[in-house]
Amino acid sequence: MPLDPPPDWLLPRRQEIGERIRSARLRAGLTQLQLAERIGREHRTIHRWEYAQRIPDLEDLLLIAWALGVPVEELVK
């Protein structure tokens, strides 16, 4: 059940995770579309994660880490 309103720390944390996904994707030389195809998601979903509109769940984080060749910890530390 989501908290309403969400805690103050939530948006900055989502932004940090989104930036880490974006940085890892760029280091891997992939576009949002290419990453989306690798993990079976729409490119709009990648955009939403990178710009903190949504946060990936654990399964998605595992897929992202695998597709980018990074440990999950790098995305969420």
18 burial type by CB count under 10 A (0-12 exposed, 13-18 middle, 19+ buried) = buried
Question: If pLDDT is split at 50, 70 and 90, which confidence band does 77 have?
Answer: confident
In a domain, 1, yes or no: no
Count of Cβ atoms closer than 10 Å to residue 56 Cβ: 22
Domain count, the chain: 1
Q: What is the CATH number of the domain that holds 42?
A: 1.10.260.40
In a domain, 54, yes or no: yes
* pLDDT score recorded for residue 5: 84
* pLDDT score recorded for residue 1: 58
Nearest to 38 by CA among 74, 68, 70: 68
Task: Work out whether the CA dihedral 2, 50, 72, 7 comes out positive or negative.
Answer: negative
In a domain, 29, yes or no: yes
- Find the domain containing 36 and state its range: 10-76
Question: Per-residue pLDDT tens for 16-54?
Answer: 999 999 999 999 999 999 999 999 999 999 999 999 999
* pLDDT score recorded for residue 44: 97
pTM over 0.85? The answer is yes
